[in-house]
Amino acid sequence: DQQVKQNSPSLSVQEGRISILNCDYTNSMFDYFLWYKKYPAEGPTFLISISSIKDKNEDGRFTVFLNKSAKHLSLHIVPSQPGDSAVYFCAASAPRSNYQLIWGAGTKLIIKP
C-alpha cells in the first residue's frame, strides 16, 4: 500500500508556462514533506520542503502547497524553464519515524521549447 502517491508518471509543459506536480498521501501522521529533483545518472537533490503547520512555502520559482484536509500537496514551478526537465519526487515523514522518508514514484517533467 503506497502511502505517498504521484499519480502522473509524466507531465509535459511549454517553456514559460506553469508546471504543477501533484502528490497525495494516506498517512495522516505525516508532518513534513519534501520535493526532490533528479536528473538522469545523478542522485536526487533537495528542492523545497513544507511543514504541516504551514500551507504554503515559496522559494524563487518554486512553491509548494499543502492541503492537509485533502492529504494533497503540489509543487508549482513558474515560469518553467528547460533546465526544470527532470524527475520530481515527493517524500514525507512522520514524527518519531527515525528520520525515515516515504517516497512517491516520481513524475517526469518535460519542458517543451
Partner 1 sequence: NAGVTQTPKFQVLKTGQSMTLQCAQDMNHEYMSWYRQDPGMGLRLIHYSVGAGITDQGEVPNGYNVSRSTTEDFPLRLLSAAPSQTSVYFCASQGLTSGNTIYFGEGSWLTVV
Residues at the interface with partner 1 (CB under 8 A): 2, 4, 6, 9, 32, 34, 36, 41-46, 49, 89, 91, 93, 98-106
Minimum CB distance to partner 1, residue 16 (Å): 29
Minimum CB distance to partner 1, residue 64 (Å): 14
C-beta of 76 vs 108, nearer to partner 1? 108
Name every residue whose Cβ is closer than 8 Å to that of residue 84 and which is 6 or more positions away in sequence. 19, 77, 109, 111
Contact 56, 63 (CB under 8 A): yes
HSE value, Cβ hemisphere, 13 Å, CA-based, for 93 = 13
Minimum CB distance to partner 1, residue 34 (Å): 6
C-beta of 41 vs 70, nearer to partner 1? 41
- Rounded to whole angstroms, the Cα distance separating 39 from 75 reads 17
